[in-house]
């Protein structure tokens, strides 16, 4: 299982996915729940899938009958659930260990 650098957007996506790990979510839905712009979410999902944290599938619909494009659904893998929980716990410990400064860095 590959270790990923956790940026704030990646943390937000993991938190959204972990709310119900068994649920399949499509990109726009995840972007909404994570509070991110749709264009931000897809590179994150690709990185998580490449790392083995997510699996995805294309929706099997008749796009003409539905009147919308086919969606790609994402779901955490069992190993991805564990990796996401561990990564979020490490990120929380790191943020607590940083001293709060009252002065701006610039």
For the chain, the domain total comes to: 1
How do the pLDDT tens digits run along the chain, 106 residues long? 556 888 999 999 999 999 999 999 999 999 999 999 989 999 999 999 999 999 999 999 999 999 999 999 999 999 999 999 998 998 888 777 666 666 655 5
**What CATH number is associated with residue 42?**
1.10.10.10
Within-domain flag for 41: yes
For residue 2, being part of any structural domain is answered with: no
Decide if 1 is inside a domain: no
Q: Which pLDDT does position 101 carry in this prediction?
A: 60
Q: Is residue 23 part of a domain?
A: yes
Structural domain containing residue 18: 8-95
Rg (alpha carbons) of the chain, rounded to whole number:
16
pTM metric for this prediction: 0.82
How many other β-carbons are positioned within 10 Å of the β-carbon of residue 28?
A: 12
Instruction: Give the orientation angle of helix 8-18 with respect to helix 38-50, to 10 degrees.
Output: 80
Rounded to whole angstroms, the Cα distance separating 54 from 9 reads: 16
């Amino acid at each position: 299982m590959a270790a990923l650098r956790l940026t704030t957007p990646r943390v937000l996506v993991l938190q959204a996915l972990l709310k119900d790990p068994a649920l399949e979510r499509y990109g726009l839905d995840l972007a909404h729940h994570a509070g991110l712009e749709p264009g931000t979410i897809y590179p994150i999902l690709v990185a998580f899938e490449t790392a083995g944290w997510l699996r995805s599938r294309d929706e099997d619909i008749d796009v003409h009958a539905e009147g919308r494009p086919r969606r790609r659904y994402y779901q955490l893998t069992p190993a991805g659930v564990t990796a996401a929980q561990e990564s979020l716990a490490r990120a929380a410990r790191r943020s607590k260990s940083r001293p709060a400064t009252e002065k701006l860095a610039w």
